[in-house]
Structure 1
Amino acid sequence: MAAPPRLSGRNRAPMTIRQRIIRRVLMIIPMALLTFVVMRMGWLDQAADKLTFSKVSWFDNTALVEHFRTVVTHNGMTHDRKDCLLFVLNGNDPPDATNLEVMERHSGSCPGDRNTLPRLFTLRVDRLSQSVQTDWQTPGVFHAMPQ
């Protein structure tokens, strides 16, 4: 009985174990580098935020804080890491409009004087119109948040 025909049309010798290992390593190294670059650039965080943040999330404080944690670190409003930001919600604000104080945390692996908690800026969130204003770079004067 004859062997089934090969689709490539070439008769090659079977690959050795060494060739298989080299081929797999040459494939894994660029994939690992690409994964590292995607994580360092924050593209993975932004993609996850776009997939999970919806119109309903504007009324969920936890989802709102996580969304703004990603936004303010990726649009240049702060150079701090996401985990070094502290968002303080004012409990006396009306439910449709919320002020979020963005503070710089100095504990754990976050650098800085541990006895201070500097205020960076305030976010004024209108949940009904889904708009945000900030006093970033202009304390006390609110303007549209940079995209």
Structure 2
Amino acid sequence: MLGGGGMNPRKMKQMMKQMGIDVTELDVEEVVIRTDEEDLVFDGPQVTRMDAQGQETYQVVGEPESVESGAGGSGAGSAAELTADDESGGSGVAIPEDDVMIVAERAGVSEEDAIEALEAEEGDLAAAIARLE
């Protein structure tokens, strides 16, 4: 969780709750951070979600493996990708199935609507969610 400089973890959790900060440990198998140059793949990381005044913050703790950008994660074939030029002659942006699920869940829409929004926003998750809300 958070380092309290020797503070009792139970007391820290209680103080954070009083301040309106909700901390949740997530059971995560893999985290991928994509940059222009590389993908950082964390296998079995410790992930904590902190919700403070409606703003969610995620903390990832673990040792990443650096993978060349676009080479995929460490799991063989773990991220099925959809290409946005199937029916609509779209932009040709590869949309990971995980992204579709995230957008559909966060915006409360069908996977088809999530795919359309992701295609329209060229794969940008935040913009696709905002478009649907």
TM-score (ref. length: structure 1): 0.26
Higher relative contact order (CA 8 A, sep 6+): 2
TM-score (ref. length: structure 2): 0.28
- Larger Rg, first or second structure (1 or 2): 1
